[in-house]
Amino acid sequence: MTTLSEKRPTTKARASSTPERVDVPALEEVLLGRWAGVRRSARAFLADPRLHRVEGLSMADHRERVLEQLRILAAEGDVLRAFPSDLGGADDHGGSLARFEEVITADPSLQIKAGVQWGLFASAILHLGTEDHHRRLLPGAMSVDVPGAFAMTETGHGSDVASIATTAEYDPVTQEFEIHTPFRAAWKDYLGNAALHGTAAVVFAQLITQAPGGPRVNHGVHAFYVPLRDPATGAFLPGIGGEDDGLKGGLNGIDNGRLHFTRVRVPRTNLLNRYGDVAADGTYSSPIASPGRRFFTMLSTLVQGRVSLDGAAVNVSKLAMIIAISYANERRQFAGPGSSDEVVLLDYAEHQRRLLPLLAQTYAGAFAHERLLETFDAVFSGERDTDEDRQDLETIAAALKPSSTWHALATLQSAREACGGAGFLTENRITSLRADLDVYVTFEGDNTVLLQLVAKRLLADHAKEFKDIDAGGMARYVATRAADAALHRTPLMRAVQMLADGGDARRSAGQLRETSTQRELLTDRVETMVAEVADALRPAMKAPQAEAARRFNEHQHALIECARAHADLLQWEAFTAGLEKVDDPGTRQVLTWLRDLFGLVTIERNLAWYLIHGRLSAGRARTVTSYVERLLARLRPHAQDLVDAFGYGPEHVRAPIASGAEAVRQDEAREHYRRLRASGDLPIPEKSVAATGTASAIPAPAVAPAAPSPT
C-alpha cells in the first residue's frame, strides 16, 4: 500500500532542519497496535473502489450501493472474525473490531450498516441466544441471506431501554409470544435495515408470563427473533407495519425506518433465552436472580457497539488531521516580511493553535482506544471475564465514546475552516464526514447519558472507600477535606508555588512539563470533583425518594463534568503509557511534546477550576498558556510526520487537497513570479511608484488570491 508521504511532492516542508526526527514507519507500527496485521489487511482491502462512497448519489442509489457493498464484505471482507470458529469465525474479538473500524474510511454508511448486520443483529443472536439459535438463525445473519434490524430504540424511549413499551406476552395454549406495540410512541424507530432491506429483526420487548395458578408478571426487557418481510416480495408479514425515516442529516446509505407490531405471533423458541427462559407452561426461569442485574448483563454483551464507535471516530479524526495539516503545509497565503514568497499556512501561530491541539487529542484518543480494545478482547475472549471486568469495560467505553465522537465533530469543523473554501467542497470529504459523524454522538447511547453512567460508577467507587468506616474515621475524613480546602483555597498554596518558581517562568514551565505534575493536576481534579459531588449527595442516601431525585438532578451538571474530567485522565494516561512503546529517542521526544500539549491544553481549558480551587497560582496559570505556545512552535516542523504516521494512503483519504496537488500549484505560481522578476517584466506596484517617483523601485512580492469561498 502506498502512503501519502510516499506520493507527496518533495517540496513539502519537513522536519529535516530540526535535531529531533520522527521515525514515521516505527511510529506507524506503534499506532497500529496489537492488531497491526489485521488493520493493514483491512486497509488493503478497503482500497478497492467498489467499496468507496460516490458523492452526489440520490438516497435511493446510495442505499442500493451500500447494500451491494455489504454483500461484498460478506463474501470477501473477513467480517466474521468475532464469531466462534465452529460457526465459521475466528474467535478474534479485538481483531474483529480493529478491522471493522477501518471501514469508515470507505464510507461511514457502509460501516454502520455492517455494524447493524454483524455487530448488532447477528451478535444479539450469538450473545443472547443459545445453541439452537446459533444453528437455526446465525447462518443467514452471518451471510446476509437474512438482512436484519436491531429493534431496541422506540420513538418514546431511546437511552431508557428499561422503559420500552413493546410487549411480548406468552400464550401457553399455543406456546407462542404475542409481540405488540400498544401505542404510537412505542414504535421501534431509527432502525437500520428497517425501511427496505431487513427481512428479520431482533426485537426487544417487555416479557410477560403467567405461570399456572400465578399472576401475570413482567420480567423486564428480553430479545426475540421476529421475521419481518417475505424475502421474495419484500412485503411486510401480517401484523407488521412500518415507515421509512426518509432523508437524514447524514448516513443516507442506510435505510433507517420504523416498525410496529399488532399482536404478531412468534414461537416460544424465538425467545433468545441465554439469560431468561419460559417453559411450555409459562414458568419463567433465569440463571440471574436479580432483574436489574439480568437486564444490565444482557445489555453488556452488546457493548462492542460503543467500543467500535470510539475507534471509528478516532479514525475519522485522523483523516481530518491528514487533510487539514497536509493542506496547511502546502497552501501559501500573504507575503512574508522581506520575502518574495508567501507564507505556508501552518507557519502562522494561530493556524498551529487551531490544528495541533486537535492532533494531540487525536493521538490521545488513539492510544486510549487501543487500551479499550484490549480490555474488550480480554472480556469477550474469556481471558478476564468477571463481573468487575465487565463493569470496567462498560465504564471505559461509556467514558471514551463521548470524548472521541465529540472530538471528531470538533476536529472536522476546525479542519473545514482551516481549509477555507476548499474544505467546503464535497470532493475533499470533510463536509460529508461531518454530516455522517453527527449522529455518532447520540446513537449506541446518547453521550450525555453515557457520562452520567460514568459519574455514577465514580461515585460508587468513591463510596466503597467508606463502606466499613466508623464514625471516627468519617470525622477524620471530614477534617482532611477541610484541611485540603484550607490549603488549596487560601493564598498558602499559591505562595508555595510562587516560592518554588522563584518568579522564573522557565522554572514554572519546567514544573508543568513534568509527567508527575500533569498527572497530579489531572487526577486531583477528578478526585476532588467526585468527592465534592459525593459530599453534596450524601444526605440523599437517607432522604425520601422524591428528595433524593431532586438532589441528584440539582447536581447533574457536576456529575457530567466529573465524567468528562475522568475521560481526559483516561486519555492522558493512555498517551503516557504509549510513550513507553516508542524506542527511537527523537520520535519519543516529539511524542512527549505532543502528550504535554494534550495535557496542558486540557488544564488550560479548565484554568478557572484550578484557580478557584487553589491548585495553580496566577503566575503558574499564565505559564500554562505560554508553554503551550512554546510546544506548538516545537511541534510545527513535525506535524506532517505525525499525520503521515497514521498510515493511510491516498486511496483512503481521497481528498485532492491532501494529495500534493496544492504544492504543485504553489510551486508553479512561485516559478511564474521568479521568471518575471528575473526578466524584469514584473510590473511595478503603484504604491512603489508613488513613493519614489521612479520606476526603479524594487517590486513588492505578489500576493496570491485567497482560497476560494463558495457562496
Concatenating the DSSP letter of every residue in 403-463 gives HHHHHHHHHHHHHHHHTHHHHHSGGGSHHHHHHHHGGGGTTTS-HHHHHHHHHHHHHHHHH
448-466 burial string, b = 16+ CB within 10 Å, else e? eebbbbbbbbbbeebeeee
Q: CA-CA distance, 186 to 504, in Å (whole number)? A: 64
C-alpha cell, 75: 463474501
Beta-carbon count within 10 A of 499 CB: 10
C-alpha cell, 29: 507500527
Give the best-scoring range by mean pLDDT among 158-167, 595-604, 614-623, 665-674: 595-604
- What is the DSSP pairing of strand 257-261 with strand 188-191? antiparallel
- What is the DSSP pairing of strand 216-227 with strand 200-210? antiparallel
Q: Look up residue 542 and give its DSSP letter.
A: G
Q: Which of 618 and 473 is assigned the larger pLDDT?
A: 618
Average pLDDT, the chain: 89
Q: Which of 614 and 708 is assigned the larger pLDDT?
A: 614
Whether the per-residue pLDDT at 513 is higher than 90: the answer is no
In the prediction, which pLDDT does 115 show?
96
Q: CA-CA distance, 575 to 640, in Å (whole number)? A: 19
**Virtual CA dihedral for 444, 446, 449, 451, nearest 10 degrees?**
80
Over residues 351-367, mean pLDDT? 98
Closest to 45 measured CA to CA, from 120, 94, 114, 93: 114
Whether the per-residue pLDDT at 697 is higher than 80: the answer is no
Phi-psi region of 540 (alpha: psi -120 to 50; beta: other; left: phi over 0): alpha
The single residue listed with the C-alpha cell 465529540 is 406
Over residues 431-444, mean pLDDT? 96
In the prediction, which pLDDT does 463 show?
85
In the prediction, which pLDDT does 494 show?
40
Q: If pLDDT is split at 50, 70 and 90, which confidence band does 686 have?
A: confident
Q: If pLDDT is split at 50, 70 and 90, which confidence band does 704 have?
A: very low
C-alpha cell, 555: 447536581
373 sits in which H/E element: helix 349-381
Work out the angle at residue 230's Cα, subtended by the Cα atoms of residues 228 and 231, and round it to the nearest 5 degrees.
105
Distances (CA, A) of 193 to 63, 71, 260, 339, 502: 10, 14, 14, 59, 65
Among 2-11, 253-262, 570-579, 689-698, the range scoring the smallest mean pLDDT is 2-11
In the prediction, which pLDDT does 506 show?
59
Q: What is the pLDDT of residues 291-300, one digit of tens each?
A: 999 998 888 8
Q: CA-CA distance, 496 to 487, in Å (whole number)? A: 10
Alpha carbon 636 to its chain's center: 26
In the prediction, which pLDDT does 492 show?
41
3-state secondary structure 286-316: CCCCCHHHHHHHHHHCCCHHHHHHHHHHHHH
Q: If pLDDT is split at 50, 70 and 90, which confidence band does 323 have?
A: very high
221 forms beta bridges with 206
Beta-carbon count within 10 A of 487 CB: 12
Q: Look up residue 91 and give its DSSP letter.
A: S
Q: CA-CA distance, 481 to 497, in Å (whole number)? A: 21
Q: What is the pLDDT of residues 178-193, one digit of tens each?
A: 999 999 999 999 999 9
Give the chain's domains with CATH numbers: 150-291 (2.40.110.10), 464-618 (1.20.140)
Please enumerate in sequence order all residues whose Cβ is within 8 A of that of 456, keeping only pairs 6 or more positions apart, or say none: 559
Going through 51-175 in order, the beta strands assigned E by DSSP cover 148-151, 167-171
Q: CA-CA distance, 147 to 586, in Å (whole number)? A: 50
Alpha carbon 658 to its chain's center: 23
Q: Are 634 and 513 in contact (CB under 8 A)?
A: no
Among 585-599, 649-663, 696-710, the range scoring the smallest mean pLDDT is 696-710
Whether the per-residue pLDDT at 301 is higher than 90: the answer is no
C-alpha cell, 395: 465504564
Q: What is the pLDDT of residues 553-578, one digit of tens each?
A: 999 999 999 999 999 999 999 999 99
Whether the per-residue pLDDT at 385 is higher than 60: the answer is yes
In the prediction, which pLDDT does 299 show?
86
Burial of residue 292, with CB atoms counted within 10 A of its CB: 0-12 exposed, 13-18 middle, 19 or more buried: exposed
Q: What is the pTM of this model?
A: 0.90
Please enumerate in sequence order all residues whose Cβ is within 8 A of that of 136, keeping only pairs 6 or more positions apart, or say none: none
**Virtual CA dihedral for 184, 187, 189, 191, nearest 10 degrees?**
-160
Give the N- to C-terminal CA distance of the chain in Å, as an integer.
Answer: 38
Over residues 586-602, mean pLDDT? 98
Q: What is the pLDDT of residues 211-248, one digit of tens each?
A: 898 999 999 999 999 999 999 999 999 999 999 999 99
Q: CA-CA distance, 413 to 423, in Å (whole number)? A: 9
Q: Are 612 and 621 in contact (CB under 8 A)?
A: no
Closest to 101 measured CA to CA, from 348, 331, 401: 401
In the prediction, which pLDDT does 481 show?
47
C-alpha cell, 617: 497560582
Q: What is the pLDDT of residues 73-95, one digit of tens each?
A: 999 999 999 999 999 999 999 99
Report the helix count and the strand count for the chain, using DSSP H and E: 29, 13
Q: Look up residue 204 and give its DSSP letter.
A: E
**Virtual CA dihedral for 357, 363, 369, 374, nearest 10 degrees?**
-150
Amino acid making up residue 162 = A
C-alpha cell, 282: 409459562
Over residues 356-369, mean pLDDT? 98
Whether the per-residue pLDDT at 26 is higher than 70: the answer is yes
Whether the per-residue pLDDT at 702 is higher than 60: the answer is no
| pLDDT more than 70, % of the chain | 88
Q: If pLDDT is split at 50, 70 and 90, which confidence band does 119 have?
A: very high
The single residue listed with the C-alpha cell 479548565 is 606
Whether the per-residue pLDDT at 400 is higher than 70: the answer is yes
C-alpha cell, 699: 517590486
Q: CA-CA distance, 106 to 497, in Å (whole number)? A: 51
In the prediction, which pLDDT does 151 show?
97
In the prediction, which pLDDT does 290 show?
93
Distances (CA, A) of 427 to 56, 285, 442, 656: 10, 56, 27, 7
In the prediction, which pLDDT does 480 show?
52
